[in-house]
Amino acid sequence: MAFVLSLLMALVLVSYGPGGSLGCYLSERLMLDARENLKLLDRMNRLSPHSCLQDRKDFGLPQEMVEGDQLQKDQAFPVLYEMLQQSFNLFYTEHSSAAWDTTLLEQLCTGLQQQLDHLDTCRGQVMGEEDSELGNMDPIVTVKKYFQGIYDYLQEKGYSDCAWEIVRVEMMRALTVSTTLQKRLTKMGGDLNSP
C-alpha cells in the first residue's frame, strides 16, 4: 500500500508541472473522488446490516453543524479536511485491514488520499498562520470527538465483523455529509482564497 501511495504522490506532483499550484478550486474531480469513495464503501459490505442490529450505535454525527448554516466558509474547509483525514486514518489501520477485502480497502484509502492531496494544495493558503488555532476550533473538536467515539466503539466491540459493518454504514453517512459540505463550499465560491 505504501508503494501505491508513493506512486500517487509522484503523479500528483508531476501533474502540477513547472507552474506550481493548481489553485484552490474545489474541482469536479474532488466531487467524483467523493462519489467513488462512497461506491467503494458500499461494495465493502460483507454482512447484512440486519444481522448486526444488536450492535447499532448513534455516534452523534455532527450533520446539522455541517449541513446547516452554522459553519462559515473559513470554518467549513478545515472541517471538511478533518473529516476526510479522520476517515482516512480510520481505514488505514491494522485492525481495518484485517476486516476488509484488501483491494477495496486500498482503493478507498487511495481515493481518500486523493481528496486530501487536492485539498492540501489549498490548505496552507486557506488556513495559513491560523492553522494552530483551527485545531482548537469548536467544529474541529466536534469532528475529532465524533471519530474518537468510533474508535472507542470498535475497541469496546473487539473490532468484530459486526462492529466494522456498523462503522462502514456510519462512514457512508459521514462521507455523504462531507460531500454535502464540499458542494456547500463550491456554492460559497469555489475559489477558497476569496473571502
List Cα–Cα distances, 158 to 41, 164, 189, in angstroms: 21, 10, 44
**Residue extents of the structural domains in the chain:** 63-125+137-194
How many Cα atoms are found within 13 Å in the side-chain-facing hemisphere of 160? Answer: 13
For 13-57, the three-class secondary structure string (H helix, E strand, C coil) is HHHHCCCCCCCCECCHHHHHHHHHHHHHHHHCCCCCHHHHHHHCC
Cβ atoms of 26 and 185 within 8 Å: the answer is yes
C-alpha distance from residue 89 to each of 112, 185, 193 (Å): 10, 23, 27
- Concatenated DSSP letters for 86-127? HHHHHHSSHHHHHHS-HHHHHHHHHHHHHHHHHHHHHHHHHH
The alpha carbon torsion through 185, 186, 187, 189 (nearest 10 deg) reads 90
Distance in angstroms (rounded) separating the CA atoms of residues 133 and 124: 13
* CA separation for the pair 182, 55 (Å, rounded): 31
Residue 98: which pLDDT band, with cuts at 50, 70 and 90?
A: confident
Read off the DSSP letter of residue 195. -
Residue 184: predicted pLDDT: 78
Mark residue 181 as left, alpha or beta (left: phi above 0; alpha: psi -120 to 50; beta: remaining). alpha
Using the predicted structure, report yes or no on whether residue 27 has a pLDDT greater than 60.
Answer: yes
Location of C-alpha cell 460531500: 179
User: What distance in Å separates the CA atoms of residue 21 and residue 13, rounded to the nearest whole number?
Assistant: 9
Residues 65-90: tens digit of each pLDDT? 666 666 777 788 888 899 999 999 99
Predicted confidence (pLDDT) per residue in 111-164, tens digit = 999 999 888 877 665 554 444 444 456 888 999 999 999 999 999 999 999 999
Nearest 5 degrees, angle CA 76-CA 132-CA 177?
A: 25
Q: Mean pLDDT throughout 179-186?
A: 81
Which CATH code fits 63-125+137-194?
1.20.1250.10
Q: Does the pTM exceed 0.85?
A: no
